[in-house]
Structure 1
């Protein structure tokens, strides 16, 4: 029988009060996941997990401590509360620690509108195995594909309930269904691989396995004979499937934790032009059927659409209550909460303004340069914005793809890179981060 998560959080809060906490919040998570991997048409791996985990944060004045457990028996919960209170009494004071004021709390939310939980029955292992098998077969049917590395299908569902002594109590459930395939072309040292996968909240929204396998195979076959590109300074197009990483670096630099630490290349950039005029980066945690959506944040505050960047200018940090207090600002409703640590700020669903051109238009305008389809490793200086990453993709000559490339490095500075970006119009709207292909001028390329 599924655990009654709201009663668990009430029990945790009662135990915290009895142990001597001034205030407390509690989170209970009940999750189920099932994944199947297939190789050469046969079952390769099966993993299933399910269980309940609870977390308790207690505060004594401005001292706080967190504990977590997967044991939800009465005695275990009492011990958790006693341990948390003992830890809090020894913890250093933190002037930013504290629950939300009751006036700040989310009061009404519409779970039906968010539509985050597929009511369809959990798929059977046999159904998932069949999806993985079909995806693998479709990839192997693509000329040039020599083998697959893996093909898999998975399902997950999670319920969350958050409660606090300030009066907040709320919960929701979310589900997801995925299919993916990794294919290989060539043999020995000439092997190249690529992949494709999709995840949806509703099983009925997921593309069929044949489509996923075929795209994985086509991407892989196109990489046959990859070699190093020339070295020099060239324009680079970040393909849609990895372009979100650039916006991710911007978001990390605008995170309140980095700003409080002073370890962000955007720390003094509020109000400055960091993207070309006309471009926005907008967060919207209330998009229906999207994996990053949620009805309230990890501290029980309401969530809402907001612009991180408007018309190219940085307009907002990403803040929870603690970082907002340290900066003398208000929380943006971006607290994220696990079971074993205090809340911290994080973004949900993000969209970058799309352009009017296709990716092929960007390649034509680029002339000669690199189309990046995969990034490997990372060397990002969070304080200066210096950027260096391993990459692979395709060399472009006179606006046309000439040959696949691998084993190269692209480098630049994020502040300069982002001010020069030009987006295409090919972002996939069902993703949590809706970011199109992006042209960046003048990166340093190390190849041959």
Structure 2
């Protein structure tokens, strides 16, 4: 049986030969300039004030992209996208209304503002409604901070297809036991926006995200197993090579051939690093504003309380250059800052925008629109705690590499997910496992988090190593 192999390194790939340097002035690939966006936002805000709005916010954006997929050596789909939008929120005291349009003509802008104003006139007043407090708004210097987020990549359909085919071919050629392909894809996406509101905020920036992906099938008949892999970066030159992505996807599928069920039991569970980022996401949702002020979270009132094992830390850093969760300000134009979210296992901060903060009688944390580059780690982790070392810490138990379903109850914390992975005995992978369900309660899982690996992996805007939970229920045959 094949064992999981190391993930492909993010080295210069075929994409790097035609990935131009970012240019904040020309914004290649777009049809509108920053100056045009500013004019549209100012026109919308001016018209709102003429109508009698007490406050107004405007957001103008544009996105462009290309997605190409191939299967069995042939082009399957080509999707070009070019979208634009003007969104306006009008406030009349503590009443608000929002409207949007993709028509940038002066008449459409006025009609959109009028629609937002009319909604605000008749909506119920909400004391928490309103723009962020002026003291929290990011100033010009913060709003213009360059975080290296924009790396335009504009491959032709032929170039993108060649990369997708190389990715799929590498997977198929890894072993004769790779029996089929579910296809490979290449995506090149970029966007830019400008936001302004009447509490003095003005700011915007361009960003990009590009990726390769492939999924293949190993084995025959009832023994067939599927798995895949991807590489995603803001800068196409930093993507793993399509060949490396293809080979790793094939190795993952091959390592699952011969998977079997196991009997129902309780045992330690080790979550692979990309899945550990999902556990971090569950925590974020449970301590985010909407869930907190509605009191539909098992972590209501947890500020200052021990939620994780005492060695666990979580940090947030919006200013990592090129980070997928980096931003100079949040979705309301509020200042952001690096901070400790969990310290020595205790909750040191929530995730709040201005509205949820007011509902809770607190201050915004600069998280309108989401979190920024979270990192889950342990003060007990050493540089030697790679995946083999984490398997040794697991000892005998389940190593989970895939989760299915969305069985998380945020009111109670109950957790139940379909899973597959590997049964581990004495720190060594014994055989692949499929068709099991792992269950527990997030509160207990967090408190019983035994170790976090040094095999850190960034999935989206969350970074974590593999995570070992002391005990969970595993339902099998």
Q: TM-score range by the shorter chain?
A: over 0.9
Could you tell me which residue of structure 2 aligns to residue 73 of structure 1?
105
Deviates more, 1:321-330 or 1:102-111: 102-111
In 1, distance between residues paired with 2:291 and 2:458? 29
In 1, distance between residues paired with 2:320 and 2:72? 39
In 1, distance between residues paired with 2:308 and 2:98? 39
Q: Is the 8 A contact 1:234 1:369 kept in 2?
A: yes
Q: Does 1:59 align with 2:81?
A: no
Q: How does 1:152-231 map to 2 (within 5 A)?
A: 152-231=185-264
Could you tell me which residue of structure 1 aligns to residue 373 of structure 2?
349
Q: How does 1:226-265 map to 2 (within 5 A)?
A: 226-265=259-298
Cα deviation, 1:198-231, whole Å, max 9, x if unaligned, reads 1111111111111110100100111112121221
Deviates more, 1:178-187 or 1:104-113: 104-113
Q: Is the 8 A contact 1:21 1:59 kept in 2?
A: yes
Could you tell me which residue of structure 1 aligns to residue 18 of structure 2?
none
Could you tell me which residue of structure 1 aligns to residue 32 of structure 2?
2
Deviation at 1:367, TM superposition (A): 2.0
Question: Taking structure 1 as reference, are residues 41 and 347 closer, same or farther at Cα in structure 2, changes over 3 Å only?
Answer: same
Could you tell me which residue of structure 1 aligns to residue 22 of structure 2?
none
Of the three residues 127, 147, 153, the one matched with 1:114 is: 147
* TM superposition score normalised by structure 1: 0.95
Deviation at 1:313, TM superposition (A): 0.5
Q: How does 1:75-90 map to 2 (within 5 A)?
A: 75-90=107-122
In 1, distance between residues paired with 2:287 and 2:267? 28
Q: How does 1:18-97 map to 2 (within 5 A)?
A: 18-97=50-129
Deviation at 1:187, TM superposition (A): 3.2
Runs in 1 of length 4+ with deviation above 4 angstroms? 110-113
Cα deviation, 1:303-348, whole Å, max 9, x if unaligned, reads 1111110111011111111111111111111112xxxxxxxxx212
- What is the number of equivalent residue pairs in this alignment? 438
Deviates more, 1:420-429 or 1:198-207: 420-429
Q: Does 1:125 align with 2:149?
A: no
SS at match of 2:168: helix
Q: How does 1:382-397 map to 2 (within 5 A)?
A: 382-397=410-425
List alignment gaps of at least 5 residues for structure 1: 337-345
Could you tell me which residue of structure 2 aligns to residue 305 of structure 1?
338
* TM superposition score normalised by structure 2: 0.89
Question: Taking structure 1 as reference, are residues 83 and 431 closer, same or farther at Cα in structure 2, changes over 3 Å only?
Answer: closer
Could you tell me which residue of structure 1 aligns to residue 324 of structure 2?
291
Q: Is the 8 A contact 1:151 1:182 kept in 2?
A: yes
Could you tell me which residue of structure 2 aligns to residue 105 of structure 1?
137
Deviation at 1:393, TM superposition (A): 0.7
Deviation at 1:51, TM superposition (A): 2.3
Could you tell me which residue of structure 2 aligns to residue 341 of structure 1?
none
Q: Is the 8 A contact 1:290 1:430 kept in 2?
A: no
Could you tell me which residue of structure 2 aligns to residue 443 of structure 1?
472
Q: Is the 8 A contact 2:143 2:329 kept in 1?
A: no
Deviates more, 1:234-243 or 1:185-194: 185-194
Q: How does 1:360-375 map to 2 (within 5 A)?
A: 360-375=388-403
Deviation at 1:268, TM superposition (A): 2.4
List alignment gaps of at least 5 residues for structure 2: 1-30
Q: Is the 8 A contact 1:135 1:210 kept in 2?
A: yes
Deviation at 1:404, TM superposition (A): 1.1
